[in-house]
Amino acid sequence: MWHKVSPLAFRIGYIKTWRSTGYYDKKSYATHVAGDVAIRSTIMKHFKNLPIGNLFLSHTGANTVTATIYTSRTALILGNNDENIQALNVLLSKKFPLFTFSIEVKEVKKPELSASIVADSVARQLEKKMPYRRVIKNAMAKTMEKGGLGVKIKLGGRLNGAEIARRETFKDGSIPTQTIRADVDFAYERAETTAGTIGLKVWIYKGDVYKK
């Protein structure tokens, strides 16, 4: 049997970086990590069903947390006169009174090359009972058109409402899983359909990164 390793964690320190940064001393390390997980889940729940490509947390000061949200729909995340961001700031301040929050929103130029956004798009279409093969082939074609060198999508669950759950894999181009310099973006998502939960994994290969 082999070990399943996250394609993102596998490349940390080479071409990828941590999604949470800051200095934690040894005694409070576990508490800080649990706090980061809680902050991240709160932000993701607040923007549920909106296309978020990535979320970085940075502890810039003693009690200051900077959250950088990457999205393809900045207008939806910001809201009218930044009302959504202000509401999120109030929510975070109530739940985590020890921290002061600063929220930044940045645009993803090519959402078709973001695994998180592609996975979210496919999951939302599956929840609307669209044929999964057509949805996935369209998503893969768009990714390859925008410059992706490879894309792989795995589905698992009661596909098309079948009685017996099964897994299916769709692949186009190449996905070098063991090459550390290969820039592979990875995401997993859940589609809550009437027949049950469908699990979804997406890999997108964007090329190799060579450090000078």
Which of helix, strand or coil describes residue 149? coil
CA gyration radius for the chain? 19
Please report the pLDDT score of residue 1 as a whole number: 63
Residue 177 pLDDT > 90: no
Q: Which of these ranges, 60-69, 85-94, 167-176, has the smallest mean pLDDT? A: 60-69
Please report the pLDDT score of residue 98 as a whole number: 85
> How remote is the C-alpha of 127 from its chain's centroid?
18
Residue 155 pLDDT > 90: yes
Q: Which of these ranges, 45-49, 145-149, 198-202, has the smallest mean pLDDT? A: 45-49
Name the band, by pLDDT with cuts 50, 70 and 90, for residue 91.
Answer: very high
Residues 6+ apart with CB under 8 A from 47: 69, 77, 84, 88
Pairing of strands 150-157, 182-193: unpaired
Mean pLDDT (the chain) is 91
> How remote is the C-alpha of 31 from its chain's centroid?
24
Residue 84 pLDDT > 80: yes
Please report the pLDDT score of residue 118 as a whole number: 95
Name the band, by pLDDT with cuts 50, 70 and 90, for residue 67.
Answer: very high
Residue 174 pLDDT > 90: yes
Residue 211 pLDDT > 80: no
Name the band, by pLDDT with cuts 50, 70 and 90, for residue 212.
Answer: low
d(CA 140, CA 41): 28
Q: Which of these ranges, 3-7, 104-108, 165-169, 208-212, has the smallest mean pLDDT? A: 208-212
Name the percent of the chain lying above pLDDT 90. Answer: 65
- Give the other-Cβ count within 10 Å of 159's Cβ: 19
